[in-house]
């Protein structure tokens, strides 16, 4: 199964993967039903999760029901348990909307929910993150997760995110981050997809962020809080929800 999943991830473009996954979900839910692990997003239980990864396959990480990964489930738990995200009305901007969240956010009546991306078939507004078609100070909350590592001019993208967020607003900008690396590594002369996959972890990534990621956000005007939410959970909970211990959630605020 690991070999099959790795081949599919490497061979199909992202929009096609999204459409294929929608068709496969009902079968996977039945096939993997059990009691060992829980997806906190929908509460469903499974005997195991699916493998996932472009270069190195991670076992037991992809939820069959919501198609969530470790980072999605961690973010859901944090937003639900530690913030007013689900309880207060807000204008929400969601970049490259994850399937794990998309339909659930659409159903929340006190959200004014806007989705955007250049390629995603489920995003309503097709837009370049470096040149957004939104007015200044438009959104209370912005989710932009695992997007910036794809963007050549990530500083311009961060500046646009800051521009369209309301003063007092909050965002979560998750990225693949090497916590052992002080300085972000990028080399825009590398065009070969195999080389990018080897150096950056995925064929369509253009950098590996280091610990200076938080400073990059601060330089664009944000106040940044690096949240280690798994430190508040037990080892049993981390395993039950299939989370990555020590993963940091970059939570940003516009003063």
**102 pLDDT tier (thresholds 50, 70, 90):** very high
pLDDT for the residue 53: 81
* Domain spanning 71-253: CATH superfamily: Vaccinia Virus protein VP39 (3.40.50.150)
Q: Is residue 107 helix, strand or coil?
A: helix
Query: Residue 95's closest CA among 63, 120, 67?
Result: 120
Closest listed residue to residue 178, CA positions, set 167, 170, 190, 186: 186
pLDDT at 153 exceeding the cut of 70: yes
Q: Is the pLDDT of residue 9 over 70?
A: no
Stretch among 11-20, 111-120, 229-238 having the lowest mean pLDDT? 11-20
pLDDT digits (tens, 9 = 90+) for 173-219: 999 999 999 999 999 999 998 899 889 998 899 999 999 999 999 99
Domain range annotation of the chain: 2-69, 71-253
Q: Are strands 111-117 and 90-95 parallel, antiparallel or unpaired?
A: parallel
Give the CA distances from residue 21 to residues 64, 65, 216, in Å, rounded to whole numbers and listed in that order.
Answer: 9, 10, 34
User: Residue 186: what are its φ and ψ, rounded to 5°?
Assistant: -150, 150
pTM (two decimals): 0.88
Residue 109 vs residues 41, 87, 150, 189, 217: alpha-carbon distances, Å: 18, 11, 32, 46, 31
Residue 177 DSSP code: B
Q: Using CA atoms, how far apart are residues 85 and 164, in angstroms rounded to an integer?
A: 18
Q: How confident is the model at residue 57 (pLDDT cuts 50, 70, 90)?
A: confident
pLDDT of residue 56: 78
Torsion of CA 183, 188, 192, 196, to 10 degrees: 20
Residue 1 predicted with pLDDT over 90: no
């Amino acid at each position: 199964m690991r070999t099959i999943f790795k081949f599919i991830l490497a061979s199909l473009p992202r929009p096609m993967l999204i459409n294929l996954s929608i068709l496969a979900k009902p079968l996977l839910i039945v096939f993997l039903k059990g009691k060992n692990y829980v997806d906190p997003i929908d509460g469903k239980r499974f005997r195991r999760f699916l493998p996932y990864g472009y270069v190195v396959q991670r076992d037991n990480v992809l939820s069959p029901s919501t198609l969530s990964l470790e980072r999605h489930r961690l973010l859901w738990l944090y937003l639900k348990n530690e913030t007013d995200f689900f309880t207060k009305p807000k204008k929400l901007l969601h970049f490259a909307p994850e399937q794990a969240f998309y339909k659930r956010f659409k159903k929340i009546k006190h959200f004014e929910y806007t989705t955007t991306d250049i390629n995603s078939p489920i995003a309503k507004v097709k837009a370049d993150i470096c040149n957004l078609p939104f007015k200044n100070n438009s959104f209370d909350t912005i989710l932009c997760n695992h997007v910036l590592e794809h963007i050549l001019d990530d500083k311009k993208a961060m500046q646009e995110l800051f521009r369209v967020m309301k003063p007092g607003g909050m965002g979560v900008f998750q990225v693949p981050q090497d916590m052992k690396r002080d300085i972000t590594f990028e080399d825009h002369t590398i065009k070969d997809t195999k080389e990018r996959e080897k150096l950056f972890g995925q064929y369509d990534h253009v950098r590996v962020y280091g610990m200076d990621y938080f400073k990059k956000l601060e330089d664009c005007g944000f106040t940044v809080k690096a949240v280690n939410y798994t430190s508040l959970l037990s080892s049993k909970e981390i395993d039950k929800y299939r989370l990555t211990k020590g993963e940091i959630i970059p939570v940003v605020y516009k003063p």
